[in-house]
Chain A
Amino acid sequence: MRTSPKLWPRIEAVAAHLFLAGALLYMSIPFLWMIGASLKKQSEIFRNPPTFIPDELVFGNYVNLFVEFDFLRHFLNSTFLAVVHTLLYLFFCSLAGYAFAKYEFRLKNLLFLLLLGSMMVPGYTLFVPLFVLAIRLKLVDSYIGVLLPGIVGAFGIFFMKQNMESIPDELLDAARIDGTTEFGAFWRVARPLAAPAMAVLAVLAFLNSWNDFVWPLVILRTRELQTLPVILAGMVGTYRMEYGIVMAGSFLSALPVLILFTSMQRNFMQGLTVGALRG
């Protein structure tokens, strides 16, 4: 029997939506499960059949998180590091990206190749020497030690270069004729024009710092200074792990980046893919 010509595309469309819906479930269930568990008593978390929406809503996990685990302090630690990292990273990356986009200078191509090549070096290879260096420079257990190696990076420079190439030279020259220095031309002309790209890079930088785990784990020795991911990881695998509290912590640590992202979702989507398309 021949199916009608309209039927087959419709079946396909349904199948496509079903597959996407399946993927959507896989992506969203862990979030829902985490939020649910954070509002349950330990006894309800370990119940079969499980409940998605808690039978009895409890906020004790959140209270414990702040009282027992000093969550606010670590939240502020992470916030401070992420904000400072983002500001420095934006400044230095856009400055260098601007130089690569808008100047001709000797060794430019070689230097840029070196920059791209540096992205291939895995961080773990540098681990031991970096740690030794941090000890020698007295950077262990300090926020300068956490921040310094990452205040400028190859990816950010590459990203800003791609975005700043479209800035018209005429505008920069006009500023120069008015007597501005080169830095003035960058700061007063190029920087405002590149603001949308910088916003995207800001989210990426914030995200990287906020979620960074290994480097703070190694550099920060004092618990009071530690960041959220390290504190959360420390709660896992301890004797009598309190799932509800850990879930509450995970949820609250994920919340800022989710809010940040949804508030500028459209820009962010485009920004993420810049490297892939032009690279």
Chain B
Amino acid sequence: MHSITQQHIRERLWYRYQRRLAPYLFISPFYILFVVFALGPLIAALYFSMIKWPGTGPMTFLGLANYLELFEDEIFLKSLGNTTYYAIGAVFVILPVALFLALLINAAVVRAKSLFRIAFILPVLTSTVAATIMFLLMFEHQYGLFNVALEAVGLNALKWLDEELVKLSVLLVAAWRYTGLSMLYFLAGLQSIPTDVYEAASVDGAGRWTTFWQITLPLLRPVSLFVVVVSIIGSFQFFAEPLLLAGGGPNNASLTIANYLYRVGFSYLRMGYASAVGYILAVIIFILTLLQLKFFGAFGRS
């Protein structure tokens, strides 16, 4: 009798204990991996960015020398410029097109909505490698589909992968692969706007243009914030597209920060210098994200 009660108490204690402990156990895998594979490396990267190290052998502490060198490194500055070009293209060209497509699909008059939705989402599922390979063939100078189409309507063939146009070509691949995803986000945002808001606007005699600027766009703000942040973070991490289209060239004209980091780290084996490139990238993304949040007023609301 005595032992049964004790066992009973022990069981109850264990039961209460596991209940208190459970949430910590459930979330612990993430935080263990976070510390080992993100926070630790993030701190290590800061140290690495201040050393000279060819991957093996002794490390030499340099202080800020890597960063100072970066600001005079023409190839790095070029990759920074190229990456900025891609980010601007993604936000100011691809996103408005995506929003426009979402508005069209959402419009009452449009038929075959699901056909368009599926067609626009299929590229999102394709790997960047496969996507870039498809476009590589279409950009081909003599037999590629783009030039064949241009010549068919009486225009001159373009050198898509030359220094002048290669960045635009990278954006064309990016547009193919990412427009559908942004469109889907916008579409979800549009569909969450209650219809009576529009009815009220139309009773007030608001035209379509006014309705869009005064009602639709402000109500889309949370979605827009998300899409813009994701687009900027994504375009600052372009890697496969420029690498496979043109090897980052010609003359580094398409090289991104990520391409340069990989080249410096794994081809030149300058681990310290590559880490400095990575840290600049992190700082840029951090600042841009904060600016977005401020611009969209995310701090004020919540």
Show the binding face of A for B, using Cβ within 8 Å.
Answer: 9, 12-13, 16-17, 19-20, 23-24, 26-31, 33-34, 37, 45-50, 92, 95-96, 98-100, 103, 105, 108, 111, 114-115, 118, 120-133, 148-149, 151-154, 157, 176, 181-183, 186, 207, 210-211, 213-214, 218, 228-229, 232-233, 236-237, 243, 246-247, 250-251, 253-254, 257-258, 261-262, 265, 269-270, 272-273, 275-277, 279
- When the two chains form their complex, are residues A31 and B122 in contact, meaning their CB atoms are under 8 A apart? yes
Cross-interface CB contact of B34 among A118, A123, A127, A262, cutoff 8 Å: A118
Q: Are B227 and A129 in contact (CB under 8 A)?
A: no
Q: Is the CB of A237 within 8 A of B176?
A: no
Contact B109 A16 (CB under 8 A): yes
Residue in A19, A30, A131, A133 whose CB lies within 8 Å of B134? A30
Judge if B299 is at the interface, Cβ distance under 8 Å: no
Contact residues, B42-89 vs A (CB, 8 A): 42, 44-45, 48
- A237 pairs with B247, CB closer than 8 A: yes
| Chain B positions 225-271 with a Cβ under 8 Å from a chain A Cβ | 226-227, 233, 236-237, 239-240, 243-244, 247, 257-258, 261-262, 265-266, 271
Pick from A28, A124, A153: contact of B281, CB under 8 Å: A124
Minimum C-beta distance from B124 to chain A (A): 9
- The proximity string for B residues 129-140 relative to A, scoring 1 for CB distances below 8 Å and 0 otherwise, is 111111111101
When the two chains form their complex, are residues B22 and A182 in contact, meaning their CB atoms are under 8 A apart?
yes
Complex CA distance for A47 and B41, rounded to whole angstroms: 51
Tell which of A105, A121, A229 touches B24, judged by Cβ atoms closer than 8 Å: A105
What is the interface residue range for chain B against chain A?
35 or more
User: A118–B122 Cα gap in the complex (Å)?
Assistant: 29
A257-B26 in contact (CB<8A): no
Q: B127 in the interface, Cβ–Cβ < 8 Å?
A: yes
B77 → A minimal CB distance (Å): 18
Task: Name the contact of A103 in the complex, choosing from B23, B110, B121 (C-beta under 8 A).
Answer: B23
Judged by a CB distance under 8 angstroms, whether B30 is at the interface is yes
Kindly provide the distance from the CB of A50 to the nearest chain B CB, expressed in whole angstroms. Answer: 6
| CB of B31 within 8 Å of the partner chain | yes
Contact across chains for A182 and B18 when beta carbons are under 8 A apart: yes
Chain A residue with Cβ nearest B273: A128
The interface residues of chain A lying within 8 Å CB-to-CB of B22 are 99, 103, 181-183
Is B274 part of the contact surface with A, judged by Cβ < 8 Å? yes
- Asked whether A20 lies within 8 Å of B143 as measured between CB atoms, the reply is no
Tell whether B5 is near chain A: CB-to-CB under 8 Å: no
- CB closest residue in chain B, given A179: B15
| 9 extra interface residue pairs, beta carbon distance < 8 Å, beyond A95-B27, A254-B126 | A13-B109, A16-B110, A27-B123, A95-B29, A98-B26, A133-B41, A182-B22, A236-B132, A265-B118
Point out the residues of chain B lying under 8 angstroms from A154, CB to CB.
Answer: 30
Distance, CA A243 to CA B27, complexed state (A)? 47
Q: Are B109 and A46 in contact (CB under 8 A)?
A: no
For A269, what are the chain B residues with a Cβ–Cβ distance below 8 Å?
117, 121, 184
- Is the CB–CB distance between B42 and A125 below 8 Å? yes
State which of B99-107, B163-171, B199-207, B210-218 sits at the interface with chain A. Answer: B99-107
Whether B13 sits at the interface, judged by CB under 8 Å, is: no
What separation, in Å, do the CA atoms of A153 and B261 have in the docked complex?
A: 24
- Enumerate 24 A-B pairs (CB-CB under 8 Å) in ascending A order: A13-B110, A16-B107, A19-B104, A20-B116, A27-B179, A30-B176, A31-B134, A33-B138, A46-B140, A96-B26, A124-B261, A126-B42, A128-B278, A129-B44, A131-B265, A157-B30, A181-B15, A211-B126, A236-B133, A251-B130, A257-B125, A261-B122, A275-B226, A276-B188
Chain B residues, CB < 8 A from A128: 45, 48, 265, 271, 274-275, 278
B181 near A: Cβ within 8 Å? Answer: yes
Complex Cα distance, B69 from A247, in Å, reads: 42
10 A-B pairs with the lowest CB-CB distances in the bound complex, closest first: A182-B22, A211-B127, A273-B188, A129-B41, A99-B26, A129-B44, A103-B23, A125-B278, A250-B130, A99-B23
Q: Are A100 and B138 in contact (CB under 8 A)?
A: no
> Closest chain B residue to A157 by CB distance?
B30
| B97 CB contacts on chain A under 8 angstroms | 23
Q: Are the CB atoms of A121 and B23 closer together than 8 Å?
A: no
Q: Which residue of B lies closest to A16 (CB)?
A: B104
Selected from A218, A270, A277, the residue in CB contact (under 8 A) with B189 is A277
A96-B244 in contact given A13-B110, A47-B143, A211-B127 (Cβ < 8 Å) = no
Contact (Cβ within 8 A) A125 B189? no
Tell me, in angstroms, the Cα distance from A272 to B117 when the chains sit together: 13
Residues on A with C-beta less than 8 A from B115 are 24
Assembled-state Cα–Cα distance A33/B187 (Å): 28
Q: Which of B27, B130, B185, B281 is in CB contact (< 8 Å) with A122? A: B281
Q: How far is the CB of B174 from chain A (nearest CB, A)?
A: 13
A186 cross-chain contacts in B, Cβ below 8 A: 26
